[in-house]
Amino acid sequence: MTKKRKWLIAIVIVLPIIIVGLSGGCASTSLPPKLTKAQLDEIAKTHFAVTVGVEDFKYPVYSEKLTKALQRTGLFDKVEPIKSFKEPPAYVARVERTIYGTAAIPILTGLSFGLIPTTVQEEHGHSFSLTATEGSNRKIPIEFSHRGPTTLGWWAVILNMLPNRTSGDVYKHARFNQSFAWTVVSHKSEIAPEISPEANLRIETGAKNR
């Protein structure tokens, strides 16, 4: 086998690995702390029989992510963009603060083909408010935020073996969704008084039937 052929075979083998690594295959993000059984049980037995309309934010990606996050909790009868409601929803959800990751260019990681890792601190979560469309119209601020390290490079493969790390989209991870749901449930005493007595009765009935 000629030297040129050996180099060609090596490139064919190594190049796909490098592409996978640099395209996100070698990323590791920290997850929120695991909830206790009592917290998970409280989420499971809580349901608000009301609708939530999410107001469009000036940067649509944030209101879209909030809509999906509230839908994943399963805590409300319906969560959709407010423009899709023919009748006013019980609550209007508004993005209050933009939470986003860190913009970092992993130069050394790229030049070393992933051998030198890049680690940055990132914040993930949702900061929003719920405002009842009837009654006092009092605004209920709700914020769930998790800050932790994100690592790029081949070292991320090792980190992802740990239970508190993920290689995927942290916003779609069950641990993240549970923690977000728990934050909403923690405001149950504030949310329920904003609803009519009939709606409160539906909340209690819905919780018992879940």
Please tell me the predicted confidence (pLDDT) of residue 12: 54
Please tell me the predicted confidence (pLDDT) of residue 26: 84
Q: 91-97 and 118-132: which strand pairing?
A: antiparallel
For the whole model, what pTM was predicted?
A: 0.78
Sequence-distant (6+) residues with CB within 8 A of 136 are 194
Tell me the pLDDT tens digit for each residue of 113-134. Answer: 778 899 999 999 999 999 999 8
Beta bridge partners of 65: none
> How far apart, in Å, do the first and last CA atoms of the chain sit?
68
Counting the structural domains of the chain, the total is 1
- H helices of 28-173, in order, are 37-44, 60-73, 107-111, 155-159
Sequence-distant (6+) residues with CB within 8 A of 58 are none
Residues of the chain with pLDDT below 50 are 16-17, 20-24, 196-210
Tell me the pLDDT tens digit for each residue of 70-95. Answer: 999 999 999 999 999 999 999 999 99
Cα(82)–Cα(85) distance, integer angstroms: 6
Please tell me the predicted confidence (pLDDT) of residue 203: 42
Neighbours of 46 (CB within 10 A): 21
Q: 54 is in which domain, residue-wise?
A: 3-209
Please tell me the predicted confidence (pLDDT) of residue 136: 73
Which DSSP string do the residues of 80-121 spell out, in sequence order? EEGGG-SS--SEEEEEEE---------HHHHHTTTSS-EEEE
Sequence-distant (6+) residues with CB within 8 A of 107 are none
Burial class for 102, CB neighbours closer than 10 Å (0-12, 13-18, 19+)? exposed
Q: What is the DSSP-derived secondary structure letter of residue 170?
A: G
